[in-house]
Amino acid sequence: MKVVLLAGGFGTRLSEETDIRPKPMVEIGGKPILWHIMKMYEKHGFNDFIICLGYKGYYIKEYFFNYFMHNSDLRIDLETNNVEVLGSKTESFKISLIDTGLNTKTAGRLKRIQHLLAEKEDFLMTYGDGVSDVNLTELVEYHKSHKKAATLTAIQPEGKFGGMDIEGSSVKNFIEKPKGDGKWINGGFFVLSPRVFEFIPENADDVMWEEDPLVHLSKSSELMAYKHSGFWKCMDALRDKMELQRMWEANKSPWKTWK
């Protein structure tokens, strides 16, 4: 199954980083968050990626074009310009890097790579800024079991602030970032049938996937939710990036399910 990664947005809420590079290339532990997401999929046997580029897409192209060289030990003979690879620590990724337009919205980006997907094969899709320990193998099995057009991963985000247990006027305990108010939200990590393109107009450049297509899929009883109660984190702002970095440095990064 192919994996579609939406990596073309402006990332304006992380402008401290995205003024110079696209948000999927913001680094956690010395590697772009896009790389972390791809490693999550590779762990479950999915290593064929279509990356939908937009804002500063050349940055992503250059990163992967030079990936093998930067992750290999080399012996270079400057006299003959001969290069010998002594050892490599590269990945098994197969990557299609597709320019889907600077201002194209999410449904439009998906529509623009439709021709690269098999007509009768399901595919996976997610955003280029979120990590999770969701079991992608179980997610795919769940999608296949209900035979609907689309499955999204539903999550319950952490509360914005920590809480306290108070008895009378006495503070008894602190609660660090409890789960939200019980509502489930779209956490990305989709499994999609090619039938989803029936819900996307031919010219979809101004269409958000999260709006009309998902709403119509829901009203048509073609959208299912896979509930994930484990770790999920979207790198929406600088504080999120810093939190993910702290987790990585402390070797407490739940999304790192690979060795």
Percentage of the chain lying above the pLDDT 70 cut = 91
What is this structure's pTM? Answer: 0.91
Query: In this predicted structure, what is the pLDDT of residue 259?
Result: 86
Mean pLDDT of 251-255: 97
Pick the CATH number of 2-249 from 3.40.50.10680, 3.40.140.10, 3.90.550.10, 3.30.365.10: 3.90.550.10
Please, what's the b/e burial string for 38-75 (b: 16 or more CB within 10 A of its CB; e: otherwise)?
Answer: bbbbbbbebbbbbbbbbbbbeebeebbeeeeeeeeeee
Mean pLDDT of 54-69: 96
Query: In this predicted structure, what is the pLDDT of residue 181?
Result: 61
DSSP β-ladder status, 82-88 and 2-7: unpaired
| pLDDT band, very low/low/confident/very high, at 171 (cuts 50, 70, 90) | low
pLDDT at 236 over 80: yes
List Cα–Cα distances, 234 to 34, 127, 188, in angstroms.
12, 9, 10
Query: In this predicted structure, what is the pLDDT of residue 177?
Result: 60
Query: What are the pLDDT digits (tens) for 192-233?
Result: 999 999 999 999 999 999 999 999 999 999 999 999 999 999
pLDDT at 15 over 80: yes
Q: Where are the domains of the chain?
A: 2-249
Exposed/middle/buried for residue 181 (C-beta within 10 Å: 0-12, 13-18, 19+):
exposed
Q: Judge whether 50 and 116 are in contact, CB under 8 Å.
A: yes
Which residue type is seen at 5? L
| pLDDT band, very low/low/confident/very high, at 66 (cuts 50, 70, 90) | very high
Query: In this predicted structure, what is the pLDDT of residue 79?
Result: 95
* Average pLDDT score over the chain: 93
**Sign of the CA dihedral with 133 first, then 189, 177, and 181 last:** negative
CA 131 to chain CA centroid, Å, is: 6
Q: Which of 98, 97, 103, 153 is nearest to 125 (CA)?
A: 153
